[in-house]
A and B are shown apart, each in its own frame.
Chain A
């Protein structure tokens, strides 16, 4: 899907650091990207790559000692980083919603599902409890929860994991936000449930014209869903572009490495090739290209910082990108 009009979200040179006793930990390091209206963007990386922190940075939900130290986050043209906490609260849940990874943990165990939905409606709209309840019920119906009226009075422990994630999605949909940030919402679920939820979110995003940032470590999931893909490594976006282009002709050796480590993406008979080594600790990242220690193409020049190259709708940070015949 191509986006029309100005982008919903523009992230410009955002860095989020965690102040620890051993120095600043650069969880997100000079990250820039845009999300167009109705666009689905996949943000991919290993755990610890900073992808979740990127999502929390947008919503202003980075827990101390973490802090967004620089950059701009323009949402419909307005810089979220300059907003007062109370103004920010009117954005959260209303214009930008978030779905978390573990549905077992995101709902408050001692409050009924109805209470947790109604409070979300009433936090942003001055409506009666009855109306808030009706809207909550409709949202539950929308995500495919049977007999939503009765289920409003149920407590989270009475739902299965998949159903709880549907509830979380219903909460995210209550205000028809412009943007939903989904942080690995299917990772904790069984495989069969995963694809249902995946399909459900894609359908609802299209139906309500919402943009979506899908954070995942799973290239396969993102491939099935996203319009565009961004690959993060050690706090930076190392490659970004249209999903087909990135997957079929990866430019960055890291992306290529990720692809050859996925069983489904490797032709039968060819060996899987996991990326050697481990992602560097955020406290001791090598200078220059952080991937160079694990990279088969690295040379001496990689100790300096590679610049972001932009060509034909593709972005990457690498001195030795793969060159494909078509490019």
Chain B
């Protein structure tokens, strides 16, 4: 299904986003792709979808080079929940890879039926199943660019399931989606994999979510594929990849953490170690708050490295008795 050998993608300006990756994915497999922001996940996905031309290396998807694919009988579906930023502003105006912004969801679905040559009866049957399952009947007449992030994800997933791709790629699909809808989507994906033997690649930074669906984990760091194997082996049940570590040395009583949404903390003698998602909590605000209490004498902030992540994963059992706030 997917064969990748020594694949490298370097962008103009010299940034190597994917570096010498080799990988095989079999038909019907469901694979989870993990990595911190900037690890090269999205670039790898876009190489697989044929949106980037590889700089070096070999890639075959469904038997042919994906960039400029000629055979159109085996569609690839891509759903992305990533909010694109230019570093300063969110581009809410960024168009979807599935839906056309200026059309209502209903018109989009009909257009997709024509583009992917879905027979009328099949279209009706699938729509009849998907609409109630995903609870999108209320938003069918909304324009695609008027949907909220969560609604848009559901709409895109409905659209993709409508044409039943051979390869389905979901990039952060659970952003903004409530627990119930997640369960529905998970079940739909499992069904697809089981009944149609669809190959699914999924990325999310919520590893627990991945483990529920995926049979295999791929871990990327700085463009390299650093782990390729089972989740059991990784034992990453309770961890979110890519947490920033802050070590605070304090005097007397440990400082108060107010209501900062810290993922996990450990207190050892006079050192408080915090793990948090720096995309949610600003390191500056957190350290500022801790310093303002006058108890902290030293603060060390470390961005996550894969070595740390893996070390943490293997130390999971030791941490069980520590102050986990899960």
Q: Do A and B bind each other?
A: no
